[in-house]
Chain A
Amino acid sequence: MRPVIPYVTAALLFGLGTYGVLRRRNAILVLIAVELMLNAVNLILVTADTTVRSQLPHGGQVFALFVIVLAAAEVGVGLAIVLQLYRLRASVAVDEVPLAEPPPTTAATPGEADR
């Protein structure tokens, strides 16, 4: 087995994921590109597990499993955020998200005086 083949595949997948994260405007497509990057890292881990002889056997595969679980958690929380954003703004374009809240007006916050 030539380890350079899966390694180069993983590097190219990571590059594609970076391109997708920077290029896409739709938040769901950004999440898809992040999944590509996570998969590239997993491929590196599994290939290194078969290539490098380590003190603890199969550390790479165990870490790949951990990364898959982390990706599942990340996608769950990420999609909750995306759906909340859609509910608030009726759009999921990431470059239309305001980075600062507009200053609150007195009429919009009647509950503030009670605190």
Chain B
Amino acid sequence: MTGTDALLLALGALAVGSGALAVATRHLVRAGLYLVLCLAAVAGMYLVLTAELVAWVQVLIYVGAVVVLLLFAVMLTRAPIGASTDLDRPGWPAALIGGGTGLGLAALLVEAYWWSSVPLPTAGSAERIGEQIFGSWVLPFEVLSVLLLAALVGAIILSRPDIGRSPVDQAGVSGADEASAEGRRPR
């Protein structure tokens, strides 16, 4: 066992441990923070596996943007600060299916690779990944930018329910909105 293996083992244990805490904790905010730890450990594994660019994109987009969005949503839905008791459904079917999936996949991969060893390639710099993206994979890249635009427009339309209604309907709905806002105010 070399230093690389020991590092991968430690980071993998950290990722699995914090992932288990993220799906098991009773505190909403802590679930997001355990997710940060898990994602950072996975980014460390990417670094060890010589995928430098993917590791830093992971830190930037996942830890920087996605988790912040999730924490925003936790706070916008007025989540309780302390432990909540109503976060979970009965556990045994989920444990059965989740454990079966995880252990089954793990058994499959262990059976495929056992304790074999492969040499690590030279560290993948951003230059070589960029050549691949803008050479062989440029069409999926462009399609992905269209998809991001569609997601952006979709999120805006979802969060603005007054877009795309007829004027008559809109008048009725905005009246109803005001009425419900009036009703909600004393709470």
Q: Which residues of A line the B interface, CB within 8 A?
A: 1-9, 11-20, 22-26, 28-29, 31-33, 35-36, 39, 42-43, 46-47, 49-51, 56-59, 61-62, 64-66, 68-77, 79-84, 86, 92-93, 95, 110-111, 114-115
CB distance A69 to B144 under 8 Å?
A: yes
CB distance A20 to B22 under 8 Å?
A: yes
Q: How many contacts A-B (CB < 8 Å)?
A: 274
Given A15-B102, A24-B23, A39-B42, residue A4 in contact with residue B97 (CB < 8 A): no
Contacts of A79 in B (CB 8 A): 69-70, 72-73, 155
Query: Which residues of B, 85-119, contact A by the 8 Å Cβ criterion?
Result: 86-89, 91, 93-95, 97-103, 105-106, 108-110, 113-119
CB distance B109 to A39 under 8 Å?
A: no
**Bound: A83/B42 CA distance, A:** 29
CB distance B42 to A32 under 8 Å?
A: no
Give the 5 A-B residue pairs with the shortest CB-CB distance, closest first. Answer: A15-B102, A19-B98, A20-B23, A9-B12, A22-B94
Contacts of B120 in A (CB 8 A): 1, 50
**Bound: A29/B24 CA distance, A:** 10
**Bound: A81/B137 CA distance, A:** 31
Q: Which residues of B line the A interface, CB within 8 A?
A: 1-2, 4-5, 8-9, 12, 15-16, 19-20, 22-23, 28, 31-32, 35, 38-39, 42, 45-46, 48-51, 53-54, 57-58, 61-62, 65-66, 69-70, 72-74, 76-77, 79, 86-89, 91, 93-95, 97-103, 105-106, 108-110, 113-121, 124, 128-129, 132-133, 136-137, 140-141, 144, 147-148, 151-152, 154-155, 158-159, 161, 166, 168-169, 172
